[in-house]
A and B are shown apart, each in its own frame.
Chain A
């Protein structure tokens, strides 16, 4: 399984909107920055890791299906790194700790559409499945267990102005430390 994380090169209005909602509307002033990434998890089944990485690089180089080089920068998690993950994302000066919230639809129609294209039109039969997710990086002014609890609260919408990033009735959200999540990738 290879995970391609994609970020806009330009400033991302979606991230600003989420930051504005969390800080100004919900009063969560421990959050100092928000970054949005897209995640494409490519399941290569029994294909050798080197071949899987080569196919992924070719997809990134020759198509705009996963990322558009005019607009996006990307990182392949789980591949031998030839660049630092920080090229994709760097914490700001005020940031003590950053959490990743990975949100995916239980019925992943986006991933299913892409796998149909990759296998049916491009003939990449090595790819057996694709999972799409939105990945939100939440930078916290103060770290520790309270910061993690805040990330977990923001991750799941349970009631009005409590939670934002996923609706638990059709989505799932996983929370992890950003450093751990992003380590070991390669950057374009």
Chain B
């Protein structure tokens, strides 16, 4: 039986349909559930995705208003039961504002996703970047099937994607515990050094952070925008562009998996093997 995943649609999100297609492409059944539907609908889901966009128009701060919705109480309970909860971009901001990530003390807001501030550049940035798998094998729901050190080209699109905290040493601790699961890197996997490889000035080069159990993950990049080969740009400094160009002319071949499909395959494997 295919795992079933609920995609939570807050007012203002805009990636829910492509996220559903990506989950289905990777072998899961996915349903879009509006934030104000009966919450009992969520209880039978095997996992949850909070998609990207601008929930509540980013009023007050990105993710802050959605984080106070009742649906977050349900997700907290479901996460406590071990089910996966993945926040993508705005979804990541919601999970951080709700205190589910890093989740060392569940509910405590220990991090922020602050406005981007790179070396000589700030503001909104949308492009393909590279991330590397930084967590040990099978440690997190989004890297479950991936190898440590694996390099993934992936799109980002945000203006508030800088993981930061006023708590001294927290990122070193999270990194040491394997909770920084994806890090920005150069195309050859070496550490990113400044913009554009490090697109937002994130502490510890963090692109995705998990809770201590690995089943709740806040990730700023958009894997649903790199799940199909046809989504890969021609000029990427990666084998993926060559693969895409080689298949040009065959619509069917371009429907093959893209570089980010492994993230959704990880979610499926995690559900099938752990739940």
Contacts and interface: CB of A to CB of B under 8 A. Distances in A.
Interface of A: 13-14, 17-18, 21, 25-26, 105, 107, 109, 157-161, 163-171
Interface string B95-114: 00111000000011111101
Given A159-B107, A160-B67, A169-B109, 5 more contacts: A18-B65, A26-B68, A158-B109, A160-B76, A171-B61
The 7 tightest CB contacts between A and B, nearest first, are: A169-B112, A170-B114, A160-B107, A167-B112, A14-B59, A159-B107, A170-B112
A160 B69 contact: no
A21 to B, nearest CB: 5
B117 to A, nearest CB: 6
A164 B56 CA distance: 14
A158 B59 contact: no
B109 A157 contact: yes
A14 B61 CA distance: 11
Interface of B: 56-57, 59-61, 64-65, 67-70, 72, 76, 97-99, 107-112, 114-115, 117, 122-123, 164-167
A177 B30 CA distance: 50
A17 B107 contact: no
Chain B residues touching A, majority SS: loop
Given A109-B115, A157-B109, A170-B114, A18 B59 contact: yes
Nearest to B109: A157
Given A25-B68, A105-B114, A168-B166, A159 B109 contact: yes
Contacts of B114: 105, 107, 167, 169-170
Contacts of B70: 25
14 contacts: A14-B59, A17-B59, A18-B60, A25-B70, A159-B99, A160-B68, A160-B76, A160-B109, A166-B61, A167-B61, A167-B64, A169-B167, A170-B115, A170-B166
